[in-house]
Chain A
Amino acid sequence: DSGVTQTPKHLITATGQRVTLRCSPRSGDLSVYWYQQSLDQGLQFLIQYYNGEERAKGNILERFSAQQFPDLHSELNLSSLELGDSALYFCASSTRVGLWQFFGPGTRLTVL
């Protein structure tokens, strides 16, 4: 158990819908990262937050957004969902930027 929690574990929804994925980092970790793992794109970095502020953006679509709250948990919002958004979404946390990251169990999103 990495200490990073993600909910829900599985999510099935329809095209055009909006979903929210939640992540709680390890106790004491200030940095949260979101990654997407799909069959065609592999593991891709989406966005990073550090102590509530956005730190870096990767290949994140405009339909996707995220935030980190004062208690350091983070949410990834995916809207206007398309079939191609079906993927495993990971949250990872680290004590500070640059240290090794510990991953949550992931949320498997299926868009029908």
Chain B
Amino acid sequence: AQKITQTQPGMFVQEKEAVTLDCTYDTSDPSYGLFWYKQPSSGEMIFLIYQGSYDQQNATEGRYSLNFQKARKSANLVISASQLGDSAMYFCAMRGGGSQGNLIFGKGTKLSVKP
């Protein structure tokens, strides 16, 4: 069965510093996609970054980058130069296998950015 594990329930980071949010996954499917979403206190789910299992390079989107280590089955999110507005819940997710496209989510990490 597919599974996403986020082992950090909460993290603190100083403003302007970088932070890494951990995510490990488990799947037997050779083709899969990994996603990160941000959920601020207002509740909406904001798509941040995507990594495909066959992508040769780590994905980057502005201040977000994904440290993809396929052999270790990890897909950590790195946020550079943290801002106060980065304070939120962060969810790692994996696309379901086969013809299904549904997402399987981890439990999330609550990031707090300190001024």
Identify the A interface with B (CB < 8 A).
2, 31, 33, 35, 42-45, 48, 55-56, 58, 88, 90, 92, 94, 96-106, 108
Q: Is the pair B102, A45 in contact by a Cβ cutoff of 8 Å?
A: yes
Q: Is the pair A106, B43 in contact by a Cβ cutoff of 8 Å?
A: yes
Partner of B44, one of A55, A58, A100, A106: A106
Residues of A within 8 A of B104 (CB): 45
Give Cα distance in the complex from A101 to B95, angstroms: 10
Give Cα distance in the complex from A97 to B103, angstroms: 11
Supposing A56-B96, A106-B43, A106-B44 touch, asked if A101 and B105 sit within 8 A by C-beta, the answer is no
Supposing A100-B47, A102-B47, A103-B45 touch, asked if A45 and B103 sit within 8 A by C-beta, the answer is yes
Closest to B107 in A: A42
Q: Is the pair B103, A101 in contact by a Cβ cutoff of 8 Å?
A: yes
Q: Is the pair B43, A100 in contact by a Cβ cutoff of 8 Å?
A: no
Residues of B within 8 A of A55 (CB): 99-101
Which secondary structure dominates chain B's binding surface?
strand
Give Cα distance in the complex from A42 to B100, angstroms: 20
Cβ of B64 within 8 Å of any chain A Cβ, yes or no, is no
B: interface residue count bin: 20 to 34
Which secondary structure dominates chain A's binding surface?
strand
Cβ of B25 within 8 Å of any chain A Cβ, yes or no, is no
Residues of B within 8 A of A58 (CB): 102
Q: Is the pair A101, B43 in contact by a Cβ cutoff of 8 Å?
A: no
Residues of A within 8 A of B102 (CB): 33, 45, 48, 56, 58
Q: Is the pair B100, A100 in contact by a Cβ cutoff of 8 Å?
A: no
Supposing A42-B105, A42-B107, A98-B33 touch, asked if A103 and B99 sit within 8 A by C-beta, the answer is no
